Each structure stands twice: as structure tokens, then as C-alpha cells.
Amino acid sequence: MISALWEQLSDRKQQLRDANIAREKLFSVIGHDLRSPIANLKSFLDLLCDGTMNFEDFRLFQDDLRKGVNHVHVTLENLMGWGSFQTSTLQPRIERVSLHATAQEGIQLLDLIAKEKDIRVENALPEDAFAMADAYQIQSVMRNLLSNALKFTPRNGRVLFSAEKKKGIWHVNVQDNGIGMDAERASRL
């Protein structure tokens, strides 16, 4: 009897550890997704409030700021959606997800960052490329890959989303002409 209770307690403890690790990873990704657009918005508002920028100049950037705020909004909506269907661990909700549309959404949300560095982002994912996956997780992964590509790609660079189908499975590629990484680091990914 005590042995069974001890085993249940041990299993529950491991489940809690796993849930905490999953949440830490989730918040790390969300923090990464939110940091840049919020920093941009804050910078523009600071310039406007301290008189360095007048309202007419501010209006020139309103579309870019709207995109940044939309990015924050979508990220928070995704977080709330994820939270609404999870229990003690992050449980994926598998559905048919358009890879092209998901990449395009990320491209639109991170457009300001690409424009700031004059980086051309291309979505060459086929329109018929679909995956059975959790839409929130795929969106987060694509945004994270794009964000990293933009971070490490030099001015006037290029980022390309592409895919090929092998044995019925889409293999997505995100290529950039950034600094790259050594073989050891790449092998750990």
C-alpha cells in the first residue's frame, strides 16, 4: 500500500517537473516573440513624448507600429488559446495547418524588423503544403526561426522559406545568408 502511494507520489512529482520545464520553454519563446515589437513601440512613444519626434513624423511609422502591436496581440492570443486547452502539461491540439499561410503570418508580423535591415523575406512554401500539427506551436516555431534568421542576417540580406515533400512528409527549410553556425552547434539543434 505504502509502496503504491510512494510510486504515485513519485510519478506526480515527475509530471510537475515536466510541466514546469514545458512552461519555462513556453515563456522563453513568448518573451523572445514579444521583446522586439514592444521595444520598438516604446522607442517611438518615447521619441514622441519627449518632443524628439513630432506627430506628423510619428504618423509615417504608424503602419509599422500597428504591425508590431498586432504581433504582440497575436502572440498573446496564442498564449491564451494554448492556456485554455491545457491541463497540467502542454498538450498539442492537432489539426491541419497550412505551412504557407503560417509562414506568411510570421513574415507579416516581423516585417518591420526585416525592413529596418533591408532584408528580403520570401515565402516559397507551396500553397498545398499542409501539416498535421498544433497551429500555435507551428506558428511559434516559424516566428522563432524567422526572428533568428533576421537577427543574424546582414543588411540587404535574404531569408527564404521553402519546402520539399519526401515520402508524403513536408520538410520545411528556412535559409538565410547570415553568419551561420559551426558544425558542433548545428548538430545539437
Per-residue pLDDT tens for 58-85?
Answer: 888 888 787 778 778 777 766 666 665 5
Residues 6+ apart with CB under 8 A from 171: 163, 164, 165
CATH number of the domain encompassing residue 152: 3.30.565.10
Buried (b) or exposed (e) across 140-172, using 16+ Cβ within 10 A? Answer: bbbbbbbbebbeebeeebebbbbbeeeeeeeeb
| pLDDT at residue 26 greater than cutoff 80 | no
Residue 52 carries which DSSP code?
S
Question: Which pTM does this prediction carry?
Answer: 0.60
Examine the fold and report which residue of 40, 67, 87 is the final residue of a domain before the chain moves on.
Answer: 87
| 17 and 104 housed in the same domain | no
Mean pLDDT value across residues 99-109: 92
Question: What pLDDT is attached to residue 86?
Answer: 53
Residue among 184, 146, 22 nearest 89 (CA):
22
